[in-house]
Structure 1
Amino acid sequence: MLKNYLLITLRTLFRNKAFSSINIVGLAFGMSCSLIILLWVNDEMSVDAFHEHNDRLYRVLEKQSYTNGSVFVFSSTPGPMAPVIKEKFPEIELASRVTWPENRLFVVKEKSFYQEGRFVDADFLQMFSFKLSQGDTATALKSMYSIVVSKGMAERFFGDENPIGKVLVMDNEDSFTVSAVLDDIPSTSSIKFDYLISFDYYYKKNENWLGQWGNNNIRTNLLLRKDANVAALAGKMTQELNAQVEGSNVTFMLQIFQDAYLYGKFENGVLTGGRIEYVRIFLIVAILVLVIASINFMNLTTAQSAKRAKEVGLRKTVGAVRGQLTAQFLGESMLMVAFSSMLAIAISFLMLPIFNQIADKQLQLSLVDIPSLSIFIAIILFTGLLSGSYPAFYVSSFQPSKVLKGQMKSGTGAAQFRKVLVVLQFSLSIILIISTIVVYKQLNFVQQKDIGFNRGNVMYMRFQGDVAKHKEAIYQQLKDNAAIEHVSFSSANPIDFGNSTSNLVWEGKAPDEQILFSNFSADEDFVTTMQMDIVEGRGFSKEFPTDTSNFIINEAAKKAMGFNVAAEQSLTLWGERKGKIIGVVKDFHFQSIHSKVEPLFIMFEPDWFSIVFIRHKSGEAQAAISALESINKQYASAYPFNYNVMDADWDNLYKSEERTGRLFNYFAILSIIISCLGLFGLSAYAAEQRTKELGVRRVLGATSPVLVGLMAKDFARLVIIAALIGCPVGWRLMHTWLQSYAYHIDVDLLTVFLAAFASLVVALGTVGYHSLKVALANPANSLRYE
């Protein structure tokens, strides 16, 4: 019997080559698309899952509450805290401080390279499951001048030699002995580094600011004992901070370390999501693509069902029961899905390298890998059951008496169901089109938005070597270069820095009032170089020596302080730096536009300068680079030359979103193509069914446009109904998504109309091919049809 079923299935497939090809190809693309998306989703969900003690590994968060109603959550914590709380609170088994990524120069003989790494406490390698190929996790970081290096870093400096015991010189200053070599860090690790150095060294070098409990500047991670009460421990940590810092506005929170990657977005002190939002969106897209491909299968299979009616009637007459027939047709569906799955694997292997490049991932498809195999089997079963269930039950329900008497017609129930499926399919497509347009427009808005200063033609270089000692000479040398318009020094990149304080006092401030102010230091040419707008007062000037004690604030700070006129108002910073506000600069974005512009002040503190900025003339980028390179060669020859472009920095803030947007667009377009593929098959079937009718109408005088319109109007009506459903749903979904940005576009009616119109045009274009083909056919041939 199974052999008989298989032969009939194969004969059916070959007898209807066009419909079979559309079904198989449509399913294959849908399955391939979903497979790749689900591999990406699985990879995102697996980030940091490889750590052995995941259930006990936590990161420390600070919840800072201010009197203006602002509540912020930061992962920065006090430098001295980790060893103190580890000793005081027995719930803590291990603790490690971790710096932000540090890009340092390492030298071995004639080799010198910048490497990115971290300074961590000795407990770090015992808390996290980063394996060593050489060395001992318990002792690798015990010495202040030990360094743990990655395999790649070891090979870069020492080649095939054993790196253990070898010496690396960092920043042309201190020497470190290699104590261990790391295995390759898993691609699913959220912490990346090429080296690890003892935090004791970092603390010794920066104790003047790192040793203060009131400063938050590094991350703290804890490994808790199995019986630890997490909430109670967070409360005790808060009490310890209150004992160290008078009037603290901080409450500590503990978050499972693995959750940090996906759940890192807080609003007003409450966890609201994070990257998990994109994971959910792509999971929905994967399901929608499979559903759309399955709808194609159901539509084409039920449309062709009349051709199988006599077979069903005969089988029932000779004793076949409905269950057997259902199993047969469901088996046929599964077989087609199996053919599609083989094609899907080939497509996936071809698409995966391109996907990895766009998504910046290292995904691999291996059918011997349990996660990949599980995902693939789940897709096959889901698609096979979803796409084959209705056709199997529908075809097996044919009544033998009607079929064998020739009374079997394509029932209105099946036709209506096909229409419902087409409406559903195009509703989903319209939602995806709206989403595609909105994502594109929002990302374009981000790139083109006026951020309060002109980032174009701006380059910068961080201080190295003796640059800081020769600022005046460097300033003049760059200023005299014909390719450079402006030169300025600053302590921070104005679109990416994290310094902030609430220890600022102004006239009229309530004693218990606390407001967080971001801040950095800049010279008298900074506002001009960045082409910022002074809306009140003036900028720093060499004509006023007292400006080294004065401040420039932004409009948000002026509002937070409650001043109608801010210029000449007195300010005191940290209880000792007394000055006045000399100017108010127009609000500019110094963070992602996901966040609103917060209060900020700029001070003139030359000892803090660490970056030289230049604005070059249009078309003189290469000359400007050469000028910076000459400075580096003259004052920091031991350091490789590095420079940055501010436009690129701004783009990097949204690199992840840009990648996600591109991927979303590609999958949305693919799903629309799959929808059109199914519509192409349905329109071919409809044209075939109405061949004789159209021939008669042609003989009676109907023109080709009339016949094409007659064929197209039924499908156009379905697409219009789909638009009435999909447009409001798409609008609502995108409106909700845009709320994650403090500054965003609106989902206007034009966008919704374009989505509906595009769907209608695509649908009519797809249907029009077959309609026109039949309409232009010779009526004599049409009337001889059948």
Structure 2
Amino acid sequence: MVKNYFTIAFRNIFRNKLFSTVNILGLALGICSTLLILLWVNDELKVDQFHRDVERLYIVRENQTYTDGKLFTFNSTPAPMAPFIKEKYSEIERTSRFTWPVTHLMQFEEKAFYEEGFYVDQDFVEMFSFELKAGNVKTALVNKNSIVISEKMAKKYFGDDNPLGKIIVMDTKNTFAVTGVLKPIPTNSSIRFEYLLPFQFFFDENKSWLDEWGNNNVRTFLQLRAGADVEGFSKRFKDEIRAHEEKTNVELLIQPFKDGYLHGDYENGVQSGGRIENVKIFFVLSIFVLIIACINFMNLATAQATKRAKEVGLRKAIGASPSQLFRQFMGESFLTVLLASIIALVMAFVLMPMFNQITSKDIALDFSNEYVILTFVGIVFITAFIAGSYPAIFISEFKPAQVLKGQLKSGSRAATFRKALVVVQFSLSIILIISTTVVFRQMSFMNNHEIGFDRNNLFTLWMEGDMPKKFETFRARLLQMPGIESVTASSQSPIQVGNSTYGLDWEGKSPDDRILFSNMNVDFDFIQTMKMEMAEGRPFDRNQITDSSNYIVNEKAAAKFGFKDGVAGKDLTMWEEKGKIIGVVKDFNFGSLHSEIEPIIMRIDPSWMNCLIVRARDGQNEAAIASVEKIWKEYAPAYPYRYTFMNQDWEKFYKDEGQRGQLFNALAILSIFISCLGLFGLSAFSAERRTKELGIRKALGASVPGLVRLMGKEFAVLVMIAACIGCPAGWYFMSYWLGTYAYRVDIGIATLLFATSICLLISMITISYHSLKVASSDPVKSLRYE
């Protein structure tokens, strides 16, 4: 019996080549895309979960409340806090401070490379499961002149020699002995580095500003003891800063480290999302694509059902029960899905490198991995059940008497169901097209948005060695070189300002007011080089001696002061350093477009200026780069020359969004293609069933274009109904997504019309092939049809 079922199944697959090809290809594409996305989702969910004590690891965050009604959540904390709270709270087993990524020039003999790493406490290597290939985890960073390096770094500098005890020189002056070599860091770690240095070294070098409870500049990790009362500890811990800073506006909170990667966004002091939103979105989108593929199968299977009516009637007449017929046709569905799954696997293997490149992942289709096997098998069985259940039920319910008398008709119920499925299919496609269009427009908007200064022809370099001390001479020489229009410097990249303070005072300010201002140190020519515009007053002038103690603020900052008669000329004190506001620069974006422009204060302080900013003349970028390199080698010969263009740095802000945009595009194109495969099959079936009708109409004088319009009208109506469902849904979803940006595009009616038009146009082109074929045939042959 089973053999007979399989024989019939294979015969039907090969007998109906067109429909079988459409079914198998559609299902293969749906299964392939779903498999890839689910592997990506799993990889995202497993980030940072490999640490052995991950359930006891926490990140310390600060809720900072200001009198202008704003509440910010930061993960920057005071440097003295970690060792202090380790001694104070019995619930804490280990603590570690953790700097922002730092890049240093590392040298061993003739080999010198820039490497990125962190300063951490000794507890860090014991808290986290970054395993050592060589060295003792208990003592690796006890000595402040020790260094733990990656296996890759060890190979680069020492080859096959034992690296332990070898001396690495940092920034041409500080020496560190290698005390540990790390095994490769798992690919699903959010913390990646080439080296770890003792925090004590960093602290001693910067003690003047690190050793303050009111200065937030490092991250703090905790490992609580097993069985610790987390809730009770949190309540006692939240006011720890207040014990050291009486007038503080800070309340501490702890977040499980395992949640930090996916749940990193906070709003009004409460966790409000993060990368988890993207995981949810792409999980839903992958299901959308699979459903579209299943709909194709269901539509074509029910449409083809009448061709097998006599077979079903005969089986029932000789005693086959509906359940036996159901199992038979479900088996055929499973066989089709199985063939599609084999093709899907081949596609997945071929597309995996490209998929990893788009998502910046290192996912492997490894069938020794239990999750990969379960995911693939689960997709196959779920797809087979969804795609095959309705057609199997529909066919197994045929009445044998009607079938054998030739009285079976497809019936309005089956036709209505097929139309409903087409509507669902195109509704999902329209949602994806709207999403893709909005994502593309937002990405384009962010890359081309006027941010308050001219990013073109600007490139930046981080000054090394003694260059900051000799900046004036360095700058003067650069201005005489070919291709260079202007040169300036700042303490941070102008598009990545991270410093902020509420330590300001001005006339009329209430002593109780706490308002957060970003701040950066700049050179005298900063405003002019960046081509910013002044709203009031003037830029800094190196010929004005007093400007070294004066300030420039942006419009947002000026509004915070509350002066009614202008800001220029007013006194301002920051960190007890008094000066005058000499100008107000028009607001400019010094961070991602996800956030609104904040108040910022700029002042002159050469000791903090490390970022060199060069503006090249139009069309002379290469000449300017070569000019800077020539002078660079005179001032910092031991340091490799490297630079980045401001536009490239700006685009890096939106790398993740760009990746999501590419995935959106791929899924949208895939969904439309699969939908059109289904329409191609359905239109072929429809044209075949209406061959005699079209022959009669043509014999009575109907034109070919008229017959094509008649065939297309039915499907055009379905697409328009789909638009009535998909457009509002797509608008709602993308409005929610755009809400994460302070500066964004409007969705607009044009986007909805575009999505509908694309679906309508592609569906009509798809349908026209079969319509033209039948409508153009000789009516004599059409009237003889069956």
Tell me the TM-score range normalised by the shorter chain.
Answer: over 0.9
Task: Between 75-84 and 622-631, report the one with greater CA deviation.
Answer: 622-631
Partner of 1:162: 162
Secondary structure of 2:104's counterpart equals strand
User: What amino acid maps onto 1:274 in structure 2?
Assistant: G
Aligned counterpart, 1:535:
535
Q: Which residue of 2 aligns with 1:505?
A: 505
CA contact (8 A) 2:163 2:178 kept: yes
Superposed CA deviations along residues 257-294 of structure 1, whole A, max 9, x for unmatched, are: 11111111112222211111111110011100000000
Distance 1:692 1:445 in 2: 54
Matched, 1:432 2:452: no
Q: Is the 8 A contact 1:34 1:289 kept in 2?
A: yes
Contact 1:503 1:573 in 2 (8 A): yes
Distance 2:88 2:405 in 1: 90
Who is 1:724 aligned against? 724
* Partner residue, 2:309: 309
Q: Does the 8 Å contact 1:596/1:743 carry over to 2?
A: yes
Letter in 1 for 2:558: K
User: 1:523 Cα deviation (Å)?
Assistant: 1.5
Q: Deviations over 1:146-180 (max 9, x none)?
A: 11111100000001111111111111111111111
Q: CA deviation at 1:369?
A: 1.1
Instruction: Indicate the residue corresponding to 1:283 in structure 2.
Output: 283
> Equivalent residues in 2 for 1:36-185 (5 A)?
36-185=36-185
C-alpha contact 2:95 2:221 (8 A) present in aligned 1: yes
CA deviations on 1:599-651 (whole Å, 9 max, x unpaired) are: 11001111211122111111111111111211220000011111121111100
Deviation for aligned residue 1:760: 0.7
SS at 1:536 equivalent: strand
Q: State the Cα deviation string for residues 101-143 of structure 1 (Å, max 9, x = none).
A: 1111111110001111111111111111111111221111111
Inter-partner Cα distance in structure 2 for 1:103 and 1:543 = 35
**Is the CA contact (8 Å cut-off) linking 2:263 and 2:271 kept in structure 1?**
yes
The count of aligned residue pairs is: 785
What does 1:339-418 align with in structure 2 at a 5 Å threshold? 339-418=339-418
Q: Describe the SS at the equivalent of 1:578.
A: strand
For 2:770, the equivalent position in structure 1 comes to 770
Instruction: Give aligned-pair identity as a percent.
Output: 52
Name the CA distance, whole Å, in 2 between partners of 1:407 and 1:780.
Answer: 26
Provide Cα deviations, 1:180-236, integer angstroms capped at 9, x if missing partner: 111110110000001111111111111111111111111100011122232332333
SS where residue 141 of structure 2 aligns? Answer: coil
Does 2:571 align with 1:570?
Answer: yes
The equivalent residue for 1:676 is: 676
What is the rounded CA distance, in whole Å, between the counterparts of 1:243 and 1:269 in structure 2?
21
SS, match of residue 459 in structure 2: strand
Q: Which residue of 2 aligns with 1:491?
A: 491
Task: Within 5 Å, give how 1:319-334 maps onto structure 2.
Answer: 319-334=319-334
Q: Distance in 2 between matches of 1:539 and 1:269?
A: 37
TM-score relative to the length of structure 1: 0.99
Deviation for aligned residue 1:430 = 0.7
Q: Equivalent residue for 2:449?
A: 449
2:58 and 2:569 map into 1 onto residues whose CA distance is: 47
Post-superposition offset of 1:713: 0.5
Q: Is the counterpart of residue 204 in structure 1 residue 166 in structure 2?
A: no
- In structure 2, C-alpha distance between the alignment counterparts of 1:542 and 1:467, rounded to whole Å: 19
Does residue 545 (structure 1) correspond to residue 545 (structure 2)? The answer is: yes
Distance verdict in 2 for CA 1:59–1:543, change over 3 Å = same
1:320 Cα offset (Å): 1.3
2:172 is matched by which residue type in structure 1? N
Question: Offset of 1:55 from its aligned partner?
Answer: 1.1
2-side partners of 1:107 and 1:777: how far apart?
80
SS of 2:129's partner is coil
For 2:552 and 2:394, locate their aligned partners in 1 and report how far apart those are by CA, in whole Å.
Answer: 75
Query: Which one-letter code corresponds to 1:424 in the other structure?
Result: V
1:145 Cα offset (Å): 1.3
CA distance in 2, matches of 1:290, 1:583: 59
8 Å contact 1:461–1:628 — kept in the other structure? no
**1:687 Cα deviation from its structure 2 partner:** 0.5
Q: How does 1:485-634 map to 2 (within 5 A)?
A: 485-564=485-564, 565-574=566-575, 576-634=576-634
Distance 1:170 1:216 in 2: 26
- Given residue 571 of structure 2, which amino acid in structure 1 is its aligned partner? S
Within 5 A, what are the aligned runs for 1:180-259? 180-259=180-259
Q: Secondary structure at the match of 1:141?
A: coil
1:575-595 deviation per Cα after TM superposition (whole angstroms, max 9, x unaligned): x20011111011111110110
Shift of 1:563: 2.2
| 1:235–1:252 CA contact under 8 A, matched in 2 | no
Separation in 2 of the partners of 1:648 and 1:58?
34
Give the counterpart letter for 2:11 in structure 1: R
1:230–1:254 contact (8 Å) kept in structure 2: no
Of 399-408 and 63-72, the range deviating more from structure 2? 399-408
In 1, distance between residues paired with 2:407 and 2:111? 87
| Contact 2:241-2:252 within 8 A present in 1 as well | no
State the Cα RMSD in Å.
Answer: 1.0
Distance 2:149 2:581 in 1: 48
- Are the counterparts in 1 of residues 239 and 252 from structure 2 also a CA contact under 8 Å? no
Q: For residues 178 and 543 of structure 1, what CA distance do their matches in structure 2 show?
A: 50
Amino acid at match of 1:569: K
TM-score by length of 2: 0.99
Unpaired runs of at least 5, structure 1: none
Match of 1:701 in 2: 701
Report the alpha carbon displacement of residue 359 of structure 1 after superposing the two structures with TM: 1.4
How much does 1:471 deviate? Answer: 1.2
| Contact 1:484-1:615 within 8 A present in 2 as well | yes
After superposing the two structures, state which structure 1 stretch, 82-91 or 226-235, moved more. 226-235
Instruction: Return the alpha-carbon distance in structure 1 between the equivalents of residues 232 and 252 of structure 2.
Output: 11
Distance in 2 between residues matched to 1:738 and 1:677, nearest whole Å: 32
Query: For residues 491 and 380 of structure 1, what CA distance do their matches in structure 2 show?
Result: 56
- Superimposed CA distance per residue, residues 377-431 of structure 1 (whole angstroms, 9 cap, x where no aligned partner): 1111111111011001111111111111111111111111000000000011111
**CA distance, structure 2, for counterparts of residue 784 and residue 321 of structure 1:** 37
Secondary structure at 2:93 match in 1: strand
Cα deviation, residue 315, structure 1: 1.3
Q: CA deviation at 1:349?
A: 0.7
Alpha-carbon distance in 1 for matches of 2:53, 2:487: 51
Q: Which amino acid aligns with 2:431?
A: I
Shift of 1:322: 1.1
The CA distance in 1 between the partners of 2:234 and 2:486, in whole Å, is: 49
Q: Which letter does structure 2 place at the counterpart of 1:88? A: K
Q: Distance in 2 between matches of 1:256 and 1:381?
A: 36
Q: Distance in 1 between matches of 2:174 and 2:481?
A: 36
Deviation at 1:662, TM superposition (A): 1.1
SS at match of 2:95: strand
One-letter amino acid matched to 2:317: T
SS across alignment from 2:614 = strand
CA contact (8 A) 1:587 1:597 kept: yes
Contact kept, 8 Å, 2:504 with 2:573, in 1: the verdict is: yes
Q: Which moved more, 1:15-24 or 1:127-136?
A: 127-136
Does the CA-based 8 Å contact 1:134-1:182 persist in structure 2? Answer: yes
The answer to whether 1:3 aligns with 2:21 is no
